[in-house]
Chain A
Amino acid sequence: MSTQTNAAALTAKDFATDQEVRWCPGCGDYSILAQVQKVMPGIGVPKENIVIISGIGCSSRFPYYMNTYGMHSIHGRATAIASGLKAARPELSVWIVSGDGDSMSIGGNHTIHLLRRNFDVNMLVFNNQIYGLTKGQYSPTSEEHKITKSTPFGSIDHPFNPLALAMGADASFIARSMDRDPKHLQTVLTRAHQHKGSSFVEIYQNCNIFNDGAFEIFTEKGTKQDTGLYLEQGQPLVFGANKNKGIKLDGLNPVVVELGNGISADDLWIHDEKDFYKAQILIRMFDNLNKNEGFYPRPFGVFYQTERACYEDVMAMQIEEIIATKGKGNLDKLLRGKEVWEIVA
């Protein structure tokens, strides 16, 4: 979302509160908090116009640590509350902080409707593929066969691909980042803010207590170059330790190729965030690399971005138009209605 106003020069510190941060030591949430605090001074919105609304879960304690307006609401409903707030107060910069359980499970319905209505808000989904606050049950993004407290013989649930869900709901900005890559996360957060419309940002977040290492393959030195694909607008899809691999489109199928031997970057798929169809293919590159299933690298960055009217603007416009044509409502006229009769004493 984007809300441009003049803000006095603030620093990340100005966005910290006096509340003790209570996530487990080592939790990925710390990094995300730090990146959000770092980004905030630069987005050009006065602190008082920023509102952070969260649901329930570890991630949802977030508002307490941000010196802005904030609400720690109820499980799954942050999106619905934010919708009402944004509809009533379009000038506010509204950020939703949610987790995989909060946004994809109990709050799944509100998530898709927020996105289709395209409220100009930023939705950050901290995906740790586990229920942390309730101490370790599988989540709607946990991989199949996962052994957790509630699935001692392995989960039989098929996981959501959150970005595919967002795409299906017609989100106008879809991105993925991770806790362990501060610079990348800062860039994506800034882009999310700049986008006018619902920005859906999935952030891989390590829960070192109940699901440690879920995303290690994308973050550790030895593997990350081969497993992560960093999307950049107008650039070819190149990855690998020596930038020696790329993705080519063969019809509608993405194909992993080795660069060299007659194949150059020019032959590769050039990333275009505006391409609705290609975005769907990119989003579907979702192999479980931990299990060595498939071979597509996992893309990070901005998958898709488009401009579409925002609900709150159209809502306000409708009101303005009606007032402009019909005039402001007159209470006496309303109460009187069309037909009256008089009783004389």
Chain B
Amino acid sequence: MSTKEQVLQDVVIKFAGDSGDGMQLTGQQFTNNTALLGIDLATFPDFPAEIRAPIGTLPGVSGFQLRFSSDRVFTPGDMCDVLVAMNAAALKVNLKNLKRSGKIIANIDGFDTKNLRLANYTDGVNPLEDGSLEGFEVIKIDVTKLTREALKDFTELGVKERDRAKNMFVLGFIYWMYNRTLDTTINFLKEKFGKKEVILQSNIKVLQAGYNYGDTTETFTTRYKVEKAKLPAGVYRSIMGNQALAYGLIAASEKSGLPIFLGTYPITPASDILHELSKYKSFGIRTYQAEDEIAGIASAIGASYGGSLGVTTTSGPGMALKSEAMGLAVMLEIPLVIINIQRGGPSTGLPTKTEQSDLMQAYYGRNGECPMPIIASATPSDCFEVAYEAVRIAVQHMTPVILLSDGYIANGAEPWKFPKADDLQKIEVKFKTSLNDNEEKFMPYLRDEKLVRPWAVPGTPGLEHRIGGLEKQNNTGNVNYEPENHQLMVNIRQEKVDKIAEYIPEQKLDSGPEKGKVLVIGWGSTYGSIKSAVAELQEQGYSVSHAHLRYVRPFPKNLGSIIKNFETVLVPEINNGQLVKILRDVYMVDAKAYNKIMGVPITKTELVDVLKKML
């Protein structure tokens, strides 16, 4: 049999099946294999909110989208080239995002009468048979049957256990299709099932069977190849957003000498930071799964008060619960990092879907005048630097810092040219250890030029002092209710946060001319879509530029002057218009909003359309 090899530049593939079909693992394995070849990529896992939604139903569909390319990629892609559908529901949910002429790899067994009914197809209708998929290239494989067959000698395994290896068959087949080797997954399986020999061997067997199926069946005449991407030279690894946040914190801990204390409560999609950090006790990290969200932040405040790097992680509903304690941290003026992995709201909302709708909450969602710096990550690997920066700002400015990420970044993966420990800038921390010569009594709220008060921790002789949530007199820190003092303290707390602008880098344009027609300002996970849309339009000769904000409060001090150089400003956000309101307020600019709030990222295609109308 002869197969041709075709070189492709860019592929978007989606693995979709029932949540029990192991599609996340399949996607991750293929991602890993792709990454190790030096191909650029971006992923978008998309799973149901229910751990075990009814099998075969539409809400039970779990998907993993991967885009890989020999070019740079910044998004997981708007539309798919290939859809792997393990059952009818997976096809139904994802068909609308498949390109015309795209490939469907369908597991026939998932399209039996029962599955069709569960996917709400009318009785007697089977999309694989009725011609409705005309225009797509449909590749039908009876994965279940072939898997069972491959395992016929594994008599010690029951049917259920055999069927569980179905995803390995698909993975093996896709590896064949894209001209890959199986070694990365075999290594993974060895590590995972090392001691369970039968399970290990059966998985490898099915993986190989899938691969050989591609090799031996006549249906496929073409294999595909995507070349290495032209990434900047260096050593890379693959990284996910929440993992990068954890690493950023660990790096900051090592480089500041402050031990990490994570006080937190499990919540989707933030829990992985806890899982990750709890593995690294060898770095002296203390992780504390508290009794609730409030205890999460409160314990972190206690640890910071004691001289640790207090961190708390959560998502929107947890943020709401933590807000009183955030106010306390603002009054205490102690370092603290509060990480919010945003998800769809309000209330419980859409726990597994992404949204950027907690910006106003971060800005204003506390009682009283309660300013806090806010910093936002744009991509999975960016989370590393952003976490590092959050720590730096927190300890050097004695303030709680809010770090905003979201579900899309948290679970997405991309190649990361990781730094060397030696190249990371040290984070200087100053503890107050004794009274100065001219000091008679310790003044816990005496400030330096940054308006920052000293960090004196329990155990330091001679600096015993009391702090608390009541308004305090400047310098002495004594409780004080005088009108002038309150005005002064409110002003100082604001000014202290504003002053951080002098200690952060100026805003740079991500791309485009410094003066022009339209400036797109984004923050957070819209980075890839905006970047791609703007690049496409720039290629077509349009005057459009892109600025992406990492520092959301305070803004970089040159942001106002950048804005002035453009006729129009567009702010795309996965919310109902939050950053745009703040920009209008701060810079009195008639910024336009583009908003979508459907639990999914904004696509490049829709941004191109919106921008074209403005250009």
Contact = CB atoms under 8 A, between A and B. Distances in A.
Interface of A: 17, 19, 46-51, 53, 56, 63-64, 66-74, 77, 80-89, 91-92, 109-110, 113, 315, 318-319, 322-323, 326-329, 331-332, 334-337, 339-345
B228 to A, nearest CB: 7
A190 to B, nearest CB: 21
B201 interface: no
B420 interface: yes
A81 B305 contact: yes
A57 to B, nearest CB: 13
Given A81-B298, A335-B421, A345 B233 contact: yes
Contacts of B251: 331, 335
A89 B459 CA distance: 9
A74 B328 CA distance: 7
Nearest to A111: B291
Given A19-B478, A74-B325, A77-B298, A88 B280 contact: no
Contacts of A50: 458
Interface stretch (B354-362, B466-474, B489-497): B466-474
B38 A341 contact: yes
Contact of B328 (A51, A73, A337): A73
Interface residues of B, number: 73
A341 B469 contact: no
B420 A332 contact: yes
B325 A331 contact: no
Contact of A67 (B235, B280, B325, B464): B464
A88 B303 contact: yes
Contacts of A337: 237-239, 418
B302 A47 contact: no
A83 B600 CA distance: 39
Nearest to A316: B286
Interface of B: 32, 35-38, 184, 228-229, 231-239, 247, 250-251, 254, 259, 261, 263, 280-286, 288, 290-292, 294-295, 298-303, 305-308, 310, 324-325, 327-328, 332, 418-421, 457-470, 478-479
A13 B335 CA distance: 33
Contacts of A339: 32, 35-36, 184, 237-238
Given A81-B302, A83-B299, A88-B308, A68 B237 contact: no
B245 to A, nearest CB: 13
A71 B283 contact: no
Contact of A84 (B235, B288, B460): B288
A63 B466 contact: yes
Contacts of A342: 38, 234-236
Given A71-B468, A91-B459, A341-B38, 7 more contacts: A74-B298, A74-B328, A83-B290, A92-B306, A323-B281, A328-B283, A329-B283
Contacts of B457: 89
A49 B458 contact: yes
A88 B233 contact: no
A72 B466 contact: yes
Nearest to B469: A74
Contact of B280 (A48, A327, A329): A329
A79 to B, nearest CB: 8
Given A49-B458, A329-B250, A334-B247, A74 B324 contact: yes
Contact of A64 (B461, B469, B479): B479
Nearest to A332: B421
Contacts of B285: 319
Given A81-B299, A332-B421, A48 B459 contact: yes
A318 B291 contact: no
Contact of A343 (B184, B234, B420): B234
Nearest to A112: B291
B468 A72 contact: yes
A337 B32 CA distance: 12
A319 B284 contact: yes
17 contacts: A64-B468, A67-B464, A70-B466, A70-B467, A70-B468, A71-B467, A73-B298, A74-B328, A80-B294, A80-B302, A81-B301, A85-B303, A113-B291, A326-B282, A331-B283, A335-B419, A343-B236
B125 to A, nearest CB: 45
Interface centre among A17, A69, A319 (most CB of B within 10 A): A69
Contact of A344 (B233, B286, B291): B233
B231 to A, nearest CB: 5
A73 B229 CA distance: 54
A89 B298 contact: no
B445 to A, nearest CB: 14
B462 A48 contact: yes
A334 B250 contact: yes
Interface centre among A49, A72, A77 (most CB of B within 10 A): A77
B464 A69 contact: yes
A342 B286 CA distance: 34
A70 B465 CA distance: 6
B282 A323 contact: yes
Contacts of A335: 237, 247, 251, 418-421
B295 A336 contact: no
B260 to A, nearest CB: 10
A88 B458 contact: no
Nearest to B479: A64
Interface centre among A49, A83, A315, A327 (most CB of B within 10 A): A83
